[in-house]
Structure 1
Amino acid sequence: MKVPELPTQSSGTLYVVATPIGNLEDISARALRILAEVALIAAEDTRHSARLLQHFGIATPLQACHEHNEREQGGRFIGRLQAGDDVALISDAGTPLISDPGYHLVRQARAMGIRVVPVPGACALIAALSAAGLPSDRFIFEGFLPAKMAARRARLELLREEPRTLIFYEAPHRILECIEDMRLVFGAERLALLGRELTKTFETLKSLPLGELYDWVAADSNQQRGECVLLVAGWEAPAGDEQVSAGVMRVLDLLLAELPLKRAAALAAEITGVRKNLLYQQALERQKGA
Protein backbone atom coordinates (compact mmCIF):
# COMPACT_ATOMS: atom_id res chain seq x y z
CA MET A 1 0.00 0.00 0.00
CA LYS A 2 1.31 3.39 -0.99
CA VAL A 3 2.04 5.70 1.95
CA PRO A 4 0.43 9.15 1.52
CA GLU A 5 2.93 11.90 0.87
CA LEU A 6 3.49 14.34 3.68
CA PRO A 7 2.60 17.96 2.92
CA THR A 8 5.58 19.94 1.70
CA GLN A 9 4.41 23.14 3.33
CA SER A 10 2.85 23.63 6.75
CA SER A 11 -0.27 25.77 7.12
CA GLY A 12 -0.18 29.34 8.32
CA THR A 13 -1.53 30.75 11.59
CA LEU A 14 -4.82 32.52 12.16
CA TYR A 15 -4.29 35.38 14.62
CA VAL A 16 -7.38 36.74 16.40
CA VAL A 17 -6.29 40.31 17.07
CA ALA A 18 -7.96 42.79 19.43
CA THR A 19 -7.99 46.41 18.30
CA PRO A 20 -8.84 49.60 20.26
CA ILE A 21 -12.45 50.34 21.25
CA GLY A 22 -11.74 54.05 21.02
CA ASN A 23 -8.36 55.31 22.18
CA LEU A 24 -5.78 54.25 19.60
CA GLU A 25 -3.06 54.15 22.26
CA ASP A 26 -4.69 50.96 23.61
CA ILE A 27 -3.42 48.80 20.76
CA SER A 28 -0.53 46.57 21.80
CA ALA A 29 2.93 46.48 20.28
CA ARG A 30 2.39 42.78 19.53
CA ALA A 31 -0.87 43.49 17.68
CA LEU A 32 0.85 46.13 15.53
CA ARG A 33 3.70 43.76 14.68
CA ILE A 34 1.38 40.90 13.70
CA LEU A 35 -0.90 43.13 11.60
CA ALA A 36 2.18 44.32 9.72
CA GLU A 37 3.65 40.83 9.25
CA VAL A 38 0.66 38.70 8.18
CA ALA A 39 -0.14 38.16 4.51
CA LEU A 40 -3.79 39.17 4.84
CA ILE A 41 -6.19 40.79 7.33
CA ALA A 42 -9.81 39.59 7.53
CA ALA A 43 -11.77 42.65 8.68
CA GLU A 44 -15.40 43.21 9.67
CA ASP A 45 -15.47 46.53 7.76
CA THR A 46 -12.53 47.11 5.43
CA ARG A 47 -13.20 50.86 5.16
CA HIS A 48 -13.19 51.29 8.94
CA SER A 49 -10.11 49.11 9.43
CA ALA A 50 -8.25 50.82 6.58
CA ARG A 51 -8.27 54.05 8.59
CA LEU A 52 -6.80 52.22 11.60
CA LEU A 53 -4.03 50.63 9.52
CA GLN A 54 -3.29 53.91 7.77
CA HIS A 55 -2.87 55.64 11.12
CA PHE A 56 -0.16 53.14 12.10
CA GLY A 57 1.43 52.96 8.63
CA ILE A 58 0.45 49.31 8.00
CA ALA A 59 -0.01 48.32 4.34
CA THR A 60 -1.22 44.71 4.74
CA PRO A 61 -4.09 43.86 2.32
CA LEU A 62 -7.63 43.73 3.73
CA GLN A 63 -10.56 41.49 2.84
CA ALA A 64 -14.08 41.61 4.27
CA CYS A 65 -15.22 39.05 6.83
CA HIS A 66 -18.56 40.21 8.22
CA GLU A 67 -21.79 38.57 9.40
CA HIS A 68 -23.30 38.50 5.90
CA ASN A 69 -20.43 36.76 4.11
CA GLU A 70 -18.52 34.94 6.83
CA ARG A 71 -19.84 31.46 6.03
CA GLU A 72 -19.37 31.87 2.26
CA GLN A 73 -16.02 33.63 2.29
CA GLY A 74 -14.47 31.63 5.11
CA GLY A 75 -13.16 29.11 2.60
CA ARG A 76 -11.09 31.81 0.91
CA PHE A 77 -9.26 32.57 4.15
CA ILE A 78 -8.89 28.86 4.95
CA GLY A 79 -7.34 28.36 1.52
CA ARG A 80 -4.75 31.05 2.19
CA LEU A 81 -3.98 29.56 5.60
CA GLN A 82 -3.58 26.06 4.12
CA ALA A 83 -1.22 27.50 1.54
CA GLY A 84 1.03 28.67 4.36
CA ASP A 85 -0.03 32.31 4.70
CA ASP A 86 -0.62 33.87 8.10
CA VAL A 87 -3.96 35.68 8.44
CA ALA A 88 -5.15 38.16 11.10
CA LEU A 89 -8.82 38.45 12.04
CA ILE A 90 -10.00 41.82 13.39
CA SER A 91 -13.39 43.42 14.11
CA ASP A 92 -14.35 47.10 13.92
CA ALA A 93 -13.32 47.58 17.56
CA GLY A 94 -12.26 45.45 20.50
CA THR A 95 -11.85 41.69 20.62
CA PRO A 96 -13.23 39.73 17.63
CA LEU A 97 -16.11 37.26 18.23
CA ILE A 98 -17.42 39.22 21.27
CA SER A 99 -20.79 40.17 19.72
CA ASP A 100 -18.87 40.44 16.43
CA PRO A 101 -18.24 38.11 13.44
CA GLY A 102 -15.42 35.56 13.32
CA TYR A 103 -16.80 32.47 15.05
CA HIS A 104 -17.34 30.49 11.85
CA LEU A 105 -13.87 31.26 10.51
CA VAL A 106 -12.19 30.29 13.79
CA ARG A 107 -14.26 27.11 13.96
CA GLN A 108 -13.34 26.16 10.38
CA ALA A 109 -9.66 26.81 11.03
CA ARG A 110 -9.61 24.66 14.15
CA ALA A 111 -11.52 21.88 12.39
CA MET A 112 -8.83 21.89 9.66
CA GLY A 113 -6.03 21.65 12.22
CA ILE A 114 -4.88 25.23 11.58
CA ARG A 115 -3.20 26.98 14.49
CA VAL A 116 -5.34 29.76 16.02
CA VAL A 117 -3.59 32.30 18.26
CA PRO A 118 -5.33 35.00 20.34
CA VAL A 119 -3.70 38.42 20.52
CA PRO A 120 -5.56 39.98 23.47
CA GLY A 121 -6.38 43.60 24.05
CA ALA A 122 -9.32 45.95 24.52
CA CYS A 123 -12.80 44.57 25.23
CA ALA A 124 -15.66 46.89 26.19
CA LEU A 125 -17.40 44.51 28.59
CA ILE A 126 -14.19 43.82 30.56
CA ALA A 127 -13.23 47.50 30.59
CA ALA A 128 -16.65 48.42 32.01
CA LEU A 129 -16.61 45.60 34.55
CA SER A 130 -13.16 46.61 35.82
CA ALA A 131 -14.42 50.10 36.72
CA ALA A 132 -18.02 49.32 37.75
CA GLY A 133 -17.56 48.53 41.43
CA LEU A 134 -19.87 45.51 41.04
CA PRO A 135 -18.85 41.94 41.96
CA SER A 136 -16.47 40.70 39.28
CA ASP A 137 -15.55 37.23 40.56
CA ARG A 138 -18.59 35.80 38.74
CA PHE A 139 -20.46 37.51 35.90
CA ILE A 140 -22.60 36.67 32.88
CA PHE A 141 -22.41 38.36 29.47
CA GLU A 142 -25.73 38.45 27.60
CA GLY A 143 -24.64 40.46 24.55
CA PHE A 144 -27.45 42.39 22.85
CA LEU A 145 -31.00 41.90 24.12
CA PRO A 146 -33.84 41.38 21.60
CA ALA A 147 -34.93 44.57 19.83
CA LYS A 148 -38.68 43.95 20.37
CA MET A 149 -40.05 44.94 23.78
CA ALA A 150 -41.96 41.71 24.48
CA ALA A 151 -38.98 39.50 23.65
CA ARG A 152 -36.60 41.75 25.58
CA ARG A 153 -38.73 41.66 28.72
CA ALA A 154 -39.11 37.88 28.42
CA ARG A 155 -35.31 37.49 28.30
CA LEU A 156 -34.91 39.79 31.30
CA GLU A 157 -37.51 37.77 33.24
CA LEU A 158 -35.32 34.70 32.77
CA LEU A 159 -32.44 36.65 34.34
CA ARG A 160 -34.39 38.28 37.17
CA GLU A 161 -33.02 35.92 39.85
CA GLU A 162 -29.54 35.50 38.34
CA PRO A 163 -27.06 36.11 41.21
CA ARG A 164 -24.08 36.96 39.02
CA THR A 165 -23.32 40.46 37.74
CA LEU A 166 -25.13 40.92 34.42
CA ILE A 167 -23.47 42.58 31.41
CA PHE A 168 -25.25 43.72 28.24
CA TYR A 169 -24.41 45.59 25.06
CA GLU A 170 -27.11 47.90 23.72
CA ALA A 171 -27.63 50.18 20.72
CA PRO A 172 -27.82 53.88 21.64
CA HIS A 173 -31.30 54.34 20.14
CA ARG A 174 -32.64 51.59 22.44
CA ILE A 175 -30.69 52.37 25.61
CA LEU A 176 -33.51 54.27 27.32
CA GLU A 177 -36.22 51.67 26.67
CA CYS A 178 -33.78 48.94 27.69
CA ILE A 179 -33.17 50.60 31.08
CA GLU A 180 -36.92 51.10 31.44
CA ASP A 181 -37.54 47.36 30.93
CA MET A 182 -34.78 46.51 33.40
CA ARG A 183 -36.36 48.85 35.94
CA LEU A 184 -39.71 47.09 35.52
CA VAL A 185 -38.31 43.54 35.66
CA PHE A 186 -35.41 43.87 38.12
CA GLY A 187 -36.84 46.65 40.26
CA ALA A 188 -36.00 50.35 40.49
CA GLU A 189 -33.55 49.82 43.38
CA ARG A 190 -31.27 47.31 41.60
CA LEU A 191 -27.84 48.94 41.17
CA ALA A 192 -26.63 49.37 37.60
CA LEU A 193 -23.88 51.11 35.63
CA LEU A 194 -23.94 52.67 32.18
CA GLY A 195 -20.60 52.59 30.39
CA ARG A 196 -20.76 54.77 27.27
CA GLU A 197 -18.09 55.69 24.72
CA LEU A 198 -15.43 53.90 26.77
CA THR A 199 -11.86 55.21 26.25
CA LYS A 200 -13.19 58.01 24.01
CA THR A 201 -13.36 61.76 24.60
CA PHE A 202 -16.87 61.75 26.07
CA GLU A 203 -16.55 58.57 28.14
CA THR A 204 -19.34 57.99 30.68
CA LEU A 205 -19.32 55.65 33.68
CA LYS A 206 -22.47 56.35 35.67
CA SER A 207 -23.58 54.11 38.54
CA LEU A 208 -27.11 54.49 39.95
CA PRO A 209 -30.11 52.35 40.92
CA LEU A 210 -32.06 51.50 37.76
CA GLY A 211 -34.88 53.92 38.56
CA GLU A 212 -32.50 56.85 38.98
CA LEU A 213 -30.37 55.78 36.01
CA TYR A 214 -33.45 55.84 33.78
CA ASP A 215 -34.31 59.39 34.89
CA TRP A 216 -30.69 60.52 34.40
CA VAL A 217 -30.44 59.13 30.86
CA ALA A 218 -33.91 60.42 29.94
CA ALA A 219 -32.92 63.94 31.01
CA ASP A 220 -29.75 64.05 28.86
CA SER A 221 -29.98 63.12 25.18
CA ASN A 222 -26.17 62.98 24.98
CA GLN A 223 -26.30 59.82 27.10
CA GLN A 224 -28.39 58.19 24.36
CA ARG A 225 -25.56 58.28 21.82
CA GLY A 226 -22.47 56.19 21.13
CA GLU A 227 -21.43 52.68 22.15
CA CYS A 228 -23.14 51.47 25.34
CA VAL A 229 -22.45 48.76 27.93
CA LEU A 230 -24.92 48.14 30.75
CA LEU A 231 -23.99 46.31 33.94
CA VAL A 232 -26.60 45.27 36.50
CA ALA A 233 -25.98 43.89 39.98
CA GLY A 234 -26.98 40.27 40.46
CA TRP A 235 -30.10 39.19 42.35
CA GLU A 236 -29.98 38.98 46.14
CA ALA A 237 -32.64 37.52 48.42
CA PRO A 238 -34.37 40.20 50.52
CA ALA A 239 -32.63 40.85 53.84
CA GLY A 240 -33.67 38.34 56.48
CA ASP A 241 -35.48 36.21 53.90
CA GLU A 242 -33.68 33.04 52.85
CA GLN A 243 -35.43 32.60 49.53
CA VAL A 244 -34.24 30.10 46.97
CA SER A 245 -34.13 31.35 43.40
CA ALA A 246 -35.93 29.62 40.55
CA GLY A 247 -32.58 28.66 39.02
CA VAL A 248 -31.46 26.91 42.22
CA MET A 249 -34.78 25.09 42.43
CA ARG A 250 -34.32 23.82 38.87
CA VAL A 251 -30.96 22.37 39.88
CA LEU A 252 -32.51 20.76 42.95
CA ASP A 253 -35.42 19.30 40.97
CA LEU A 254 -33.06 17.74 38.41
CA LEU A 255 -31.02 16.13 41.17
CA LEU A 256 -34.10 14.91 43.06
CA ALA A 257 -35.19 13.05 39.93
CA GLU A 258 -32.00 10.96 40.04
CA LEU A 259 -30.78 10.90 43.66
CA PRO A 260 -32.04 10.31 47.22
CA LEU A 261 -33.30 13.45 48.93
CA LYS A 262 -30.37 13.95 51.30
CA ARG A 263 -27.76 13.41 48.59
CA ALA A 264 -29.63 15.68 46.14
CA ALA A 265 -29.76 18.51 48.69
CA ALA A 266 -26.06 18.16 49.53
CA LEU A 267 -25.00 18.13 45.90
CA ALA A 268 -27.26 21.09 45.05
CA ALA A 269 -25.63 23.01 47.89
CA GLU A 270 -22.16 22.30 46.45
CA ILE A 271 -23.24 23.44 42.99
CA THR A 272 -25.16 26.59 43.94
CA GLY A 273 -23.58 27.73 47.21
CA VAL A 274 -26.98 27.80 48.97
CA ARG A 275 -27.09 26.35 52.50
CA LYS A 276 -27.61 22.59 52.55
CA ASN A 277 -30.18 22.69 55.37
CA LEU A 278 -32.30 25.20 53.45
CA LEU A 279 -32.21 23.06 50.31
CA TYR A 280 -33.03 19.96 52.36
CA GLN A 281 -36.17 21.68 53.67
CA GLN A 282 -37.10 22.73 50.15
CA ALA A 283 -36.63 19.14 48.96
CA LEU A 284 -38.86 17.83 51.78
CA GLU A 285 -41.60 20.28 50.79
CA ARG A 286 -41.22 19.25 47.15
CA GLN A 287 -41.73 15.58 48.08
CA LYS A 288 -44.73 16.34 50.30
CA GLY A 289 -46.39 18.23 47.46
CA ALA A 290 -45.70 15.48 44.95
Structure 2
Amino acid sequence: MIVQGNDAPGLAPGLYIVAGPIGNLGDLSPRAARILREADVIACEDTRVTAKLLRAAGSDRPMLAYHEHSRAEVGEGLLERMASRSVALVSDAGTPLVSDPGHELVRAARQRGIPVTTAPGPCAAIAALSISGLPSDRFLFAGFLPARAVARDKAIAALAALPFTLIFYESGPRLGATLAALATALGPREAAVARELTKLHEELVTGTLTDLASRYGSSPPRGEIVLLVGPPEAEVATADALDQALEAALRTMAPGKAAASVAAALGLPRGEVYARALDLKNTNPESGDPR
Protein backbone atom coordinates (compact mmCIF):
# COMPACT_ATOMS: atom_id res chain seq x y z
CA MET A 1 0.00 0.00 0.00
CA ILE A 2 1.26 3.46 -0.93
CA VAL A 3 0.51 6.29 1.49
CA GLN A 4 1.26 9.81 0.35
CA GLY A 5 0.47 13.40 1.22
CA ASN A 6 0.25 16.71 -0.60
CA ASP A 7 3.24 17.96 -2.54
CA ALA A 8 5.82 19.73 -0.40
CA PRO A 9 7.54 22.96 -1.53
CA GLY A 10 9.32 22.18 -4.79
CA LEU A 11 7.86 19.44 -6.95
CA ALA A 12 8.99 15.93 -6.13
CA PRO A 13 9.02 13.31 -8.90
CA GLY A 14 5.65 11.80 -9.70
CA LEU A 15 2.35 12.39 -11.46
CA TYR A 16 0.27 15.49 -10.70
CA ILE A 17 -3.40 15.53 -11.76
CA VAL A 18 -4.15 19.22 -12.24
CA ALA A 19 -7.68 20.57 -12.64
CA GLY A 20 -7.95 23.63 -14.82
CA PRO A 21 -10.80 26.07 -15.47
CA ILE A 22 -13.89 24.96 -17.38
CA GLY A 23 -14.15 28.36 -19.01
CA ASN A 24 -13.22 31.25 -16.74
CA LEU A 25 -9.44 31.45 -16.32
CA GLY A 26 -10.00 33.12 -12.96
CA ASP A 27 -10.94 29.72 -11.58
CA LEU A 28 -7.38 28.38 -11.91
CA SER A 29 -6.19 27.81 -8.34
CA PRO A 30 -2.85 29.22 -7.11
CA ARG A 31 -1.67 25.69 -6.31
CA ALA A 32 -2.56 24.41 -9.78
CA ALA A 33 -0.74 27.37 -11.33
CA ARG A 34 2.36 26.67 -9.26
CA ILE A 35 2.44 23.03 -10.35
CA LEU A 36 2.09 24.09 -13.98
CA ARG A 37 5.05 26.45 -13.54
CA GLU A 38 7.28 23.90 -11.80
CA ALA A 39 6.48 20.56 -13.45
CA ASP A 40 9.16 19.15 -15.74
CA VAL A 41 6.59 18.42 -18.45
CA ILE A 42 2.86 19.04 -19.01
CA ALA A 43 0.90 16.13 -20.51
CA CYS A 44 -2.23 17.48 -22.21
CA GLU A 45 -4.96 16.68 -24.73
CA ASP A 46 -4.44 19.60 -27.11
CA THR A 47 -1.26 21.66 -26.88
CA ARG A 48 -2.97 24.66 -28.49
CA VAL A 49 -5.62 24.76 -25.77
CA THR A 50 -3.16 24.11 -22.96
CA ALA A 51 -0.83 26.83 -24.24
CA LYS A 52 -3.47 29.40 -23.26
CA LEU A 53 -3.73 27.85 -19.79
CA LEU A 54 0.04 27.92 -19.34
CA ARG A 55 0.18 31.58 -20.32
CA ALA A 56 -2.45 32.34 -17.68
CA ALA A 57 -0.39 30.40 -15.11
CA GLY A 58 2.84 32.14 -16.12
CA SER A 59 4.35 28.83 -17.18
CA ASP A 60 6.82 28.10 -19.97
CA ARG A 61 7.10 24.37 -19.29
CA PRO A 62 7.23 21.98 -22.27
CA MET A 63 4.06 20.16 -23.34
CA LEU A 64 3.50 16.63 -24.59
CA ALA A 65 0.27 15.53 -26.29
CA TYR A 66 -1.42 12.73 -24.36
CA HIS A 67 -4.87 11.82 -25.67
CA GLU A 68 -6.96 8.88 -26.82
CA HIS A 69 -4.90 8.33 -29.96
CA SER A 70 -1.45 8.79 -28.44
CA ARG A 71 -1.72 7.33 -24.95
CA ALA A 72 -0.40 3.88 -25.88
CA GLU A 73 2.64 5.40 -27.58
CA VAL A 74 3.30 8.21 -25.09
CA GLY A 75 2.26 6.59 -21.81
CA GLU A 76 5.35 4.47 -21.24
CA GLY A 77 7.64 7.42 -21.81
CA LEU A 78 5.69 9.47 -19.28
CA LEU A 79 5.94 6.68 -16.71
CA GLU A 80 9.70 6.54 -17.17
CA ARG A 81 9.92 10.30 -16.65
CA MET A 82 7.89 10.12 -13.43
CA ALA A 83 10.53 7.96 -11.78
CA SER A 84 12.86 10.94 -11.54
CA ARG A 85 10.85 13.97 -12.69
CA SER A 86 7.48 15.62 -12.20
CA VAL A 87 4.73 15.20 -14.80
CA ALA A 88 1.53 17.29 -14.67
CA LEU A 89 -1.56 15.94 -16.45
CA VAL A 90 -4.24 18.42 -17.56
CA SER A 91 -7.32 18.19 -19.76
CA ASP A 92 -8.71 20.74 -22.20
CA ALA A 93 -11.12 21.91 -19.50
CA GLY A 94 -11.84 21.03 -15.88
CA THR A 95 -10.71 17.95 -14.00
CA PRO A 96 -8.67 15.36 -15.90
CA LEU A 97 -10.01 11.78 -16.21
CA VAL A 98 -13.67 12.93 -16.09
CA SER A 99 -14.75 11.72 -19.56
CA ASP A 100 -11.08 12.11 -20.55
CA PRO A 101 -8.28 9.57 -20.99
CA GLY A 102 -5.85 9.10 -18.13
CA HIS A 103 -6.99 6.44 -15.69
CA GLU A 104 -4.64 3.89 -17.29
CA LEU A 105 -1.73 6.25 -16.65
CA VAL A 106 -2.75 6.75 -13.02
CA ARG A 107 -3.20 3.01 -12.49
CA ALA A 108 0.17 2.19 -14.04
CA ALA A 109 1.92 4.88 -11.99
CA ARG A 110 0.49 3.59 -8.74
CA GLN A 111 1.36 0.00 -9.64
CA ARG A 112 4.97 1.10 -10.08
CA GLY A 113 5.03 2.90 -6.74
CA ILE A 114 5.04 6.36 -8.33
CA PRO A 115 3.30 9.02 -6.19
CA VAL A 116 0.11 10.43 -7.71
CA THR A 117 -1.03 13.80 -6.38
CA THR A 118 -4.23 15.72 -7.08
CA ALA A 119 -4.61 19.47 -7.40
CA PRO A 120 -8.43 19.54 -7.41
CA GLY A 121 -10.57 22.17 -8.99
CA PRO A 122 -13.48 22.81 -11.37
CA CYS A 123 -15.61 20.03 -12.87
CA ALA A 124 -18.45 20.87 -15.26
CA ALA A 125 -20.66 18.03 -14.01
CA ILE A 126 -20.49 19.21 -10.38
CA ALA A 127 -20.77 22.88 -11.32
CA ALA A 128 -23.96 22.20 -13.29
CA LEU A 129 -25.44 20.05 -10.52
CA SER A 130 -24.81 22.77 -7.95
CA ILE A 131 -26.98 25.32 -9.80
CA SER A 132 -29.61 23.00 -11.32
CA GLY A 133 -31.94 22.72 -8.33
CA LEU A 134 -32.19 18.96 -8.91
CA PRO A 135 -31.56 16.51 -6.03
CA SER A 136 -27.85 16.48 -5.28
CA ASP A 137 -27.62 14.05 -2.37
CA ARG A 138 -27.24 11.09 -4.77
CA PHE A 139 -26.24 11.43 -8.39
CA LEU A 140 -24.67 9.39 -11.18
CA PHE A 141 -22.28 10.79 -13.76
CA ALA A 142 -22.75 8.83 -16.99
CA GLY A 143 -20.50 10.80 -19.35
CA PHE A 144 -21.50 10.80 -23.02
CA LEU A 145 -24.28 8.49 -24.15
CA PRO A 146 -23.46 6.30 -27.18
CA ALA A 147 -23.83 7.99 -30.55
CA ARG A 148 -25.78 5.16 -32.20
CA ALA A 149 -29.49 5.15 -31.41
CA VAL A 150 -29.78 1.47 -30.45
CA ALA A 151 -26.81 1.58 -28.08
CA ARG A 152 -27.99 4.92 -26.67
CA ASP A 153 -31.47 3.55 -25.94
CA LYS A 154 -30.02 0.48 -24.21
CA ALA A 155 -27.82 2.71 -22.05
CA ILE A 156 -30.81 4.87 -21.08
CA ALA A 157 -32.89 1.78 -20.23
CA ALA A 158 -30.14 0.55 -17.90
CA LEU A 159 -30.26 3.85 -16.00
CA ALA A 160 -34.04 4.34 -15.99
CA ALA A 161 -34.89 2.88 -12.59
CA LEU A 162 -31.95 4.30 -10.64
CA PRO A 163 -33.14 6.74 -7.96
CA PHE A 164 -30.41 9.28 -8.66
CA THR A 165 -30.02 12.51 -10.58
CA LEU A 166 -28.33 11.55 -13.84
CA ILE A 167 -25.58 13.74 -15.32
CA PHE A 168 -24.45 13.53 -18.94
CA TYR A 169 -22.10 15.45 -21.19
CA GLU A 170 -23.46 16.22 -24.64
CA SER A 171 -22.68 18.20 -27.79
CA GLY A 172 -24.97 20.82 -29.28
CA PRO A 173 -25.76 18.97 -32.51
CA ARG A 174 -26.76 15.79 -30.63
CA LEU A 175 -28.68 17.45 -27.79
CA GLY A 176 -32.15 17.44 -29.38
CA ALA A 177 -32.04 13.75 -30.31
CA THR A 178 -30.68 12.81 -26.88
CA LEU A 179 -33.42 14.75 -25.09
CA ALA A 180 -36.08 13.15 -27.29
CA ALA A 181 -34.74 9.66 -26.53
CA LEU A 182 -34.64 10.42 -22.80
CA ALA A 183 -38.18 11.80 -22.87
CA THR A 184 -39.46 8.69 -24.67
CA ALA A 185 -37.77 6.33 -22.22
CA LEU A 186 -38.13 8.24 -18.96
CA GLY A 187 -41.24 10.38 -19.41
CA PRO A 188 -41.61 14.00 -18.31
CA ARG A 189 -38.96 14.03 -15.62
CA GLU A 190 -37.45 17.27 -14.41
CA ALA A 191 -34.26 18.11 -16.28
CA ALA A 192 -31.76 20.89 -16.91
CA VAL A 193 -29.46 21.90 -19.74
CA ALA A 194 -26.35 23.83 -18.68
CA ARG A 195 -24.07 25.38 -21.28
CA GLU A 196 -21.00 27.60 -21.35
CA LEU A 197 -20.56 27.32 -17.59
CA THR A 198 -18.46 30.11 -16.01
CA LYS A 199 -18.23 31.89 -19.38
CA LEU A 200 -19.81 35.16 -20.49
CA HIS A 201 -22.86 33.46 -22.01
CA GLU A 202 -23.46 30.91 -19.23
CA GLU A 203 -26.99 29.53 -19.42
CA LEU A 204 -29.12 27.08 -17.44
CA VAL A 205 -32.52 26.07 -18.83
CA THR A 206 -34.83 23.88 -16.76
CA GLY A 207 -38.05 22.06 -17.55
CA THR A 208 -39.33 18.58 -18.24
CA LEU A 209 -37.51 16.33 -20.67
CA THR A 210 -40.45 16.74 -23.03
CA ASP A 211 -40.27 20.54 -22.88
CA LEU A 212 -36.52 20.61 -23.37
CA ALA A 213 -36.69 18.13 -26.27
CA SER A 214 -39.16 20.45 -27.98
CA ARG A 215 -37.04 23.54 -27.28
CA TYR A 216 -33.80 22.14 -28.63
CA GLY A 217 -35.16 19.79 -31.30
CA SER A 218 -34.89 22.30 -34.11
CA SER A 219 -32.42 24.78 -32.61
CA PRO A 220 -29.29 23.05 -31.32
CA PRO A 221 -27.28 25.28 -28.97
CA ARG A 222 -23.59 26.08 -29.15
CA GLY A 223 -20.96 25.45 -26.54
CA GLU A 224 -20.11 22.77 -24.01
CA ILE A 225 -23.23 21.18 -22.51
CA VAL A 226 -24.08 19.35 -19.32
CA LEU A 227 -27.45 17.58 -19.31
CA LEU A 228 -29.05 16.67 -15.98
CA VAL A 229 -32.11 14.48 -15.44
CA GLY A 230 -33.92 14.25 -12.12
CA PRO A 231 -34.66 10.89 -10.47
CA PRO A 232 -37.94 9.05 -11.04
CA GLU A 233 -40.75 9.35 -8.55
CA ALA A 234 -39.91 7.27 -5.50
CA GLU A 235 -42.74 4.77 -5.97
CA VAL A 236 -41.71 4.15 -9.58
CA ALA A 237 -38.06 3.67 -8.75
CA THR A 238 -38.37 1.45 -5.71
CA ALA A 239 -39.29 -1.97 -7.07
CA ASP A 240 -36.96 -2.15 -10.06
CA ALA A 241 -34.07 -0.35 -8.39
CA LEU A 242 -34.40 -2.47 -5.25
CA ASP A 243 -34.31 -5.74 -7.15
CA GLN A 244 -31.38 -4.65 -9.30
CA ALA A 245 -29.39 -3.52 -6.28
CA LEU A 246 -30.20 -6.63 -4.26
CA GLU A 247 -29.37 -9.03 -7.10
CA ALA A 248 -25.98 -7.37 -7.45
CA ALA A 249 -25.32 -7.38 -3.70
CA LEU A 250 -26.40 -11.01 -3.24
CA ARG A 251 -23.66 -12.15 -5.60
CA THR A 252 -21.06 -11.26 -2.97
CA MET A 253 -22.97 -10.91 0.32
CA ALA A 254 -25.25 -12.92 2.56
CA PRO A 255 -28.88 -11.71 2.58
CA GLY A 256 -28.52 -9.81 5.86
CA LYS A 257 -25.47 -7.86 4.77
CA ALA A 258 -26.89 -7.30 1.31
CA ALA A 259 -30.11 -5.93 2.79
CA ALA A 260 -28.25 -3.58 5.13
CA SER A 261 -26.09 -2.23 2.32
CA VAL A 262 -28.94 -1.73 -0.14
CA ALA A 263 -31.31 -0.26 2.46
CA ALA A 264 -28.71 2.36 3.35
CA ALA A 265 -28.02 3.18 -0.31
CA LEU A 266 -31.68 3.52 -1.32
CA GLY A 267 -33.02 4.97 1.90
CA LEU A 268 -35.52 2.12 2.44
CA PRO A 269 -36.58 0.29 5.62
CA ARG A 270 -34.10 -2.49 6.35
CA GLY A 271 -36.80 -5.01 7.32
CA GLU A 272 -38.60 -4.65 4.00
CA VAL A 273 -35.36 -4.89 2.06
CA TYR A 274 -34.33 -8.02 4.00
CA ALA A 275 -37.65 -9.69 3.24
CA ARG A 276 -37.21 -8.96 -0.45
CA ALA A 277 -33.62 -10.25 -0.32
CA LEU A 278 -34.86 -13.56 1.07
CA ASP A 279 -37.49 -13.78 -1.67
CA LEU A 280 -34.86 -13.24 -4.35
CA LYS A 281 -32.49 -15.70 -2.70
CA ASN A 282 -35.17 -18.39 -2.59
CA THR A 283 -36.21 -17.67 -6.17
CA ASN A 284 -32.62 -17.92 -7.40
CA PRO A 285 -30.66 -20.23 -5.09
CA GLU A 286 -27.78 -20.32 -7.61
CA SER A 287 -26.88 -16.72 -6.85
CA GLY A 288 -24.09 -17.89 -4.55
CA ASP A 289 -23.53 -18.59 -0.90
CA PRO A 290 -21.12 -15.91 0.37
CA ARG A 291 -19.68 -16.54 3.81
Match of 2:215 in 1: 216
Contact 1:44 1:91 (C-alpha < 8 Å) held by counterparts: yes
Q: Is the 8 A contact 1:71 1:105 kept in 2?
A: no
Q: Which amino acid aligns with 1:14?
A: L
- Counterpart residue type for residue 235 of structure 1: P
Q: 1:111 Cα deviation (Å)? A: 1.1
Name 1:116's counterpart in structure 2: 116
Alignment match, 1:153 = 153
2:151 maps to amino acid: A
Inter-CA distance 277–87: structure 2 relative to 1 (3 Å threshold): closer
State the SS of the aligned residue for 1:245: helix
Cα pair distance change 1:85/1:146, threshold 3 Å? same
For the Cα contact (< 8 Å) 2:110–2:116, is it kept in 1?
yes
Give the deviation of 1:216 after TM superposition. 2.1
Task: State which structure, 1 or 2, has the greater radius of gyration over its C-alpha atoms.
Answer: 1
Secondary structure (helix, strand or coil) at the match of 2:185 reads helix
The answer on whether the counterparts of 1:20 and 1:121 sit within 8 Å (CA) in structure 2 is: yes
Any residues of structure 2 matched to 1:91-130 within 5 Å, and which?
91-130=91-130
Unaligned runs of 5+ in 1: 1-10
Aligned counterparts of 2:158 and 2:266: Cα–Cα separation in 1: 17
How much identity, in percent, do the aligned residues show? 45
1:70-92, CA deviations, whole angstroms, 9 ceiling, x for partnerless residues? Answer: 1221111111111x211110111
Counterpart Cα distance in 2 of 1:104 and 1:267? 30
Q: How many residues of Structure 1 are paired with residues of Structure 2 in the alignment? A: 273
Partner-residue secondary structure (3-state), 2:238: coil
Find the counterpart in structure 2 of residue 235 from structure 1.
232
1:34 is aligned with what amino acid? I
2:259 touches 2:277 (CA, 8 Å); kept in 1?
yes
The aligned counterpart of 2:199 is 200
The alpha carbon displacement at 1:200 in A equals: 1.2
| Counterpart code for 1:247 | A
Q: Distance in 1 between matches of 2:250 and 2:116?
A: 42
What amino acid is the match of 2:192?
A: L
8 Å Cα contact 2:21/2:121 also seen in 1: yes
Equivalence for 2:7: none
Q: Report the Cα offset of residue 176 of structure 1.
A: 0.6
User: In structure 2, do the counterparts of structure 1 residues 286 and 99 end up closer, same or farther at CA, with 3 Å as the change threshold?
Assistant: closer
Partners of 2:163 and 2:234 within 8 A in 1: no
Distance 1:209 1:286 in 2: 35
1:269 partner letter: A
How big is each residue's C-alpha offset from its partner over 1:98-146, in whole Å with a ceiling of 9 and x where there is no partner? 0012112111111111111100111100100111111111111101100
Deviation of 1:283 (Å): 6.3
